[in-house]
């Protein structure tokens, strides 16, 4: 939870460096399932695995990326007793962010922007309570492309499923 800001900054660098068209368009590519530590998400085959130190995982396409952070209940104080809403408040407090938490289409999320090296990025961050952990998924792209990608972020976020613990 504490390190998600570090992931965002790392992502900004990666997206900036690799945004030169080496992947196909993630909006039109074929659907593809990705599974990581009990979570499955349907993205597209335009995404590639992105190893990021400190994150549970990440996937990158030509114009956008996704970071995944898993926090097992046993690593959190009273983790198995926390509600999703309580976890979200912990995320906000520990990261010192002031964002409005929203719930739509069975997704609990917040949106924000951040800049690095003069480039502004938009983030769609979704939180889940799985059988054994909380998950924070952060979809991101350049702010100029955010409104175009936002519906895809929502659809991809809605595809998430979890294995039984």
Rounded distance between C-alpha atoms, residue 137 and residue 50, angstroms: 14
Structure-block tokens of residue 93:
């407090």
Joined tokens for residue 165:
């613990």
- pTM of the shown model: 0.84
Task: For strands 57-60 and 64-72, give the pairing.
Answer: antiparallel
- Positive or negative, the CA dihedral 78, 111, 157, 31 is negative
For 51-72, what is each residue's pLDDT tens digit?
Answer: 888 789 999 999 999 999 999 9
Q: Once rounded to an integer, what is the mean pLDDT over residues 109-133?
A: 94
Q: What is the pLDDT of residue 23?
A: 58
Q: How many CB atoms lie within 10 A of CB 110?
A: 19
Which of 137, 149, 155, 147 minimizes the C-alpha distance to 26? 149
- Position 20 pLDDT exceeds 70: no
């Amino acid at each position: 939870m504490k390190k998600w800001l570090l992931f965002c900054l790392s992502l900004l660098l990666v997206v900036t460096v690799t945004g030169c068209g080496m992947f196909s368009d993630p909006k039109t590519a074929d659907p593809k399932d990705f599974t990581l530590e009990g979570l499955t998400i349907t993205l597209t085959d335009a995404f590639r695995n992105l190893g990021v130190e400190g994150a549970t995982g990440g996937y990158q396409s030509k114009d956008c990326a996704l970071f995944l952070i898993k926090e097992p209940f046993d690593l959190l104080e009273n983790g198995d007793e926390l509600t999703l809403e309580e976890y979200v408040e912990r995320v906000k407090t520990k990261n010192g962010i002031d964002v409005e938490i929203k719930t739509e289409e069975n997704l609990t999320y917040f949106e924000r922007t951040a800049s690095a090296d003069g480039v502004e990025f938009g983030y769609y961050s979704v939180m889940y309570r799985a059988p054994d952990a909380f998950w924070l998924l952060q979809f991101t792209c350049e702010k100029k492309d955010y409104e175009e990608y936002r519906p895809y972020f929502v659809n991809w976020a809605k595809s998430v499923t979890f294995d039984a613990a």
